[in-house]
Amino acid sequence: MKNLLILVMVVLYSSHLFGQQDPMFTKYMFNSLHYNPAYAGSHEHLSAALLHRTQWINFKGAPSTQTLTVHTPLRENRVGVGLTLLHDQIGVTNTTSANLAYAYRIPFGKKAKLSIGVQGGMTNYRADWQKLNLETGSDIAFQGDNPNKWLPNFGIGLYFQTKHFYTGLSSPHLIEHQLRDKGTSTVEPALIAQQYRHYFFTIGGAIPIKGDDIIFKPSLLVKNVGIDSKIRKTAELQAINAPTEFDVDLSVLFMETIWVGAAFRSSIEKFTNQKSSFDSGDIWASYNLRNGMRIGAAYDYTLTEINKETPGSFEIMLGYELDFKTRRIETPRYF
């Protein structure tokens, strides 16, 4: 129960702790639509991916996340549309969301495209405080009715890609909703729970080592929460304290079939003021079947003190590419 309570506190008061609210994924390149609506239609055909992540194995109440992304181009590839479904459970809190994405794709020459994307959707946030066995018997943070909120939101993004390069910038949820009303505690700062706006930057490449048979694919994902904290109305909401997280991934694609990679996750603050820590070292692999299906798995080894309680985290993925056979013959897609 102590582990579960710690996780719930992280969710509720991330404005005063070093944490971030949006789920993290090791295989983020397989559900990029979750981060950036401008990614819709970028595969030039119908593409779908289902991903499950269990974070911190054996840690009671640890995050468990599932996502489904589906997207396809329309109107001679000038428009892309997509759907993202997400379920995220941490302790006694659950978040379920659905978003529809629209991307307008502008050609640059014959092989490059710039996509401008928007998305809109709804999130349901709920918690069941009665499942907590509090050591103090009474805690103002968990008094009152169980929250069950429906929260509309929208997001924006840019995505530029060629056959061998891509980069993107996005903020998938622009509206910052209050998850709970202010507490009545006399202790300052008052107890609040707030959604925060996240920003994502991605960049990557595909470098042929042996034609299309062996492709080296480096990529980088940067996630920031507090870059706009100074413009918030109150000091409570300005004190976010979430580090700027980055994921560096190096992978190799063999014969457009077997894809293996290794990644490292940490924060920029770790290398500047030592107020953060290394997060994890990761390995992953995926296999493309001839019928267009893709299966994959990832394992994260935790580099923080949490590794005393857990062997790490894992993900499994199932994907589908509609015109896989045509793509192998004519124009391979790497992103």
Beta strand 47-54 pairing with 64-74: antiparallel
The predicted pLDDT at position 242 comes to 74
**Is residue 309 assigned to a domain?**
yes
The predicted pLDDT at position 61 comes to 85
Please state, in angstroms and rounded to a whole number, the distance separating the CA atoms of residues 147 and 323.
44
The rounded percent of the chain whose pLDDT value lies above 70 is 77
**pTM for the complete prediction?**
0.85
Q: For residue 271, what are the contacts with CB-CB under 8 A and spacing of at least 6?
A: none
Q: Which amino acid is at 139?
A: D
Contact 245, 276 (CB under 8 A): no
The predicted pLDDT at position 257 comes to 92
Domain containing 74 equals: 2-329
Q: What is the pLDDT of residues 65-89, one digit of tens each?
A: 999 999 999 978 899 999 999 999 9
Nearest to 195 by CA among 57, 97, 82, 75: 97
Nearest to 100 by CA among 88, 118, 112, 124: 118
Contact 18, 142 (CB under 8 A): no
**Is residue 74 assigned to a domain?**
yes
Place of tokens 């779908």: 48
Contact 21, 63 (CB under 8 A): no
The predicted pLDDT at position 271 comes to 67
Q: Which amino acid is at 73?
A: P
**Is residue 128 assigned to a domain?**
yes
Count of structural domains, the chain:
1
**Is residue 236 assigned to a domain?**
yes
Contact 59, 3 (CB under 8 A): yes
The predicted pLDDT at position 218 comes to 97
DSSP state of 306: G
The predicted pLDDT at position 222 comes to 95
**Which portions of the chain are predicted below pLDDT 70?**
1-21, 135-144, 180-192, 229-241, 271, 273-276, 324-334
The predicted pLDDT at position 214 comes to 95
**Is residue 32 assigned to a domain?**
yes
CATH no. for residue 324? 2.40.160.40
Detail the DSSP E strand segments found in 37-136. 47-54, 64-74, 79-90, 93-108, 112-127
Contact 103, 37 (CB under 8 A): yes
**Is residue 335 assigned to a domain?**
no
